[in-house]
Structure 1
């Protein structure tokens, strides 16, 4: 049994006349009659009650007709389905992201992507850079937003920088330094430091410690924490000060004050990264983020400058 036989059966079932069905199918009647006989032999049951004057469906034919129509309709959808998948309009996108981009443009990007790509199922995984790299290696995510020092996106991936922002100093709200109208950088460098482990973003960790080294200061690391929210909570508890991306200030954690220190020169960058070999749906998401853009800082529109290579 093949789709052609099903089409022939449906034509006869709807016309209830072999001559009209043959004309509809652009064929002669004898081959159509033979095809129906072959279909009946394949199925092991007659489908029509035939007389010299009439052709009607019998119970077996009535049972087959809706199923045949369904199969033919599904077959017609195969072409559009395959073309949509090939164009990246259909499928699943598994996306990793760091928490800081969640405080910024990510929710808006995801909302618009769902609206414009309803056939793509989004799967989100909040994870730091080191965890995302493991997920890439295991084939568990397709793309990810990662945090790093400016210009230091992970090697071995294509990358689209989406956000660049300064690091600001987080202090306990009742810290003595918050009462000073101007906070000297050297005083900030003398405070106990709450920082993320080097493993989760080596380039940014090294940039922070390089700042201390360049000012002949030795960082007093009081505590390490993985999540930015945890770091801010530790600062509010008086464990020390912390250098955090400016977007973290949107947390508005009670008991924490933020102070920009332009003299530090510290900044971070968020990039969307993806493997050289990837599925078309990843390209659609890259194009979407490029189109809607992020922001290099809170004041200037972002100009995409991806190092995407040939896709």
Structure 2
């Protein structure tokens, strides 16, 4: 058994996909599969169950993952210590959909303050040492460090404002809703939509697209306040029933083997 096999195992375990793991390690799929096979032979047990799409992990793999993830992190950290002094520490953060730019900018500024000289790598996807996301999107094996708590508001076209100080009542069935039925927040918002949610004016896959529809005059949507405030052509009104969401860092304990992430975690202050 060697370090390359351990890295291959960790990548496949976390990606649940041979192709994605090979791309992450910049290896060919045959080379990655070969490393996994050699590790399974050395251990005398199957670690993954190959399927048509991706892989499933075995109980032995679940038991092995924390140990090998720690060993890989320690080896990587050891290698970093002997690199040239002018080499920057890297911190990769995946940014989920529907996180306001102001929140991304706050996190970037905080990372630079906590880790001087850090080389930030932001990804518009679910990847990295940590993810900037809403708490609803936290994976089962992840910890959550809150950065921002914000309310949901009613977003409507600027030319169709409700009267001053009017609140959007849950029983308002005259609203032409724009809904996001595949979004993690949809079930929480259903009581406010009411019966009209069965035949909405439009559908969107995320809040940002829903706000584009609002600005175009298609209808109204319930969205996080930070996103609505940044969208031209959109005005907001408070909801009668207060709903909030939390945005923060999602990360695995093992990822703290990256010293830059550990220092960011210890130094960040909620907005």
Query: Which category describes the TM-score, using the shorter chain as reference length?
Result: 0.5 to 0.7
Q: Hey, what's the Cα distance between the residues in 2 that align with 1:110 and 1:169?
A: 29
Q: Hey, what's the Cα distance between the residues in 2 that align with 1:286 and 1:292?
A: 10
Alignment of 1:84-233 (within 5 A): 91-98=89-96, 100-127=98-125, 132=126, 135=127, 141-149=128-136, 153-175=138-160, 178-179=162-163, 181-186=165-170, 188-198=172-182, 201-202=183-184, 204-212=185-193, 217-219=195-197, 220-233=199-212
Contact kept, 8 Å, 2:167 with 2:238, in 1: the verdict is: no
TM superposition outliers: structure 1 runs of 4+ over 4 Å: 79-82
Q: Please state how far the C-alpha of 1:218 moved relative to its aligned partner.
A: 4.1
Q: Hey, what's the Cα distance between the residues in 1 that align with 2:135 and 2:110?
A: 26
Alignment of 1:228-243 (within 5 A): 228-243=207-222
Q: Hey, what's the Cα distance between the residues in 2 that align with 1:192 and 1:291?
A: 44
Q: Hey, what's the Cα distance between the residues in 2 that align with 1:162 and 1:106?
A: 10
Gaps of 5+ in 2: 1-76
| Cα RMSD (Å) | 3.1
Number of aligned residue pairs: 191
CA gap 1:170/1:189 in 2 versus in 1, 3 angstroms: farther
SS in 2 for 1:155: coil
Q: Please state how far the C-alpha of 1:183 moved relative to its aligned partner.
A: 3.4
TM-score normalised by length of structure 2: 0.59
Q: Hey, what's the Cα distance between the residues in 1 that align with 2:220 and 2:178?
A: 6
SS in 2 for 1:174: helix
Report the structure number with the largest CA radius of gyration.
1
Deviations 1:12-69 (A, max 9, x none): xxxxxxxxxxxxxxxxxxxxxxxxxxxxxxxxxxxxxxxxxxxxxxxxxxxxxxxxxx
1:264 aligns with 2:248: no
Contact kept, 8 Å, 2:115 with 2:263, in 1: the verdict is: no
Deviations 1:229-254 (A, max 9, x none): 32212102221111111111331412
Contact kept, 8 Å, 1:98 with 1:126, in 2: the verdict is: yes
Q: Hey, what's the Cα distance between the residues in 2 that align with 1:115 and 1:196?
A: 36
Q: Hey, what's the Cα distance between the residues in 2 that align with 1:180 and 1:217?
A: 26
Q: Hey, what's the Cα distance between the residues in 1 that align with 2:257 and 2:112?
A: 16
Q: Hey, what's the Cα distance between the residues in 2 that align with 1:142 and 1:191?
A: 42
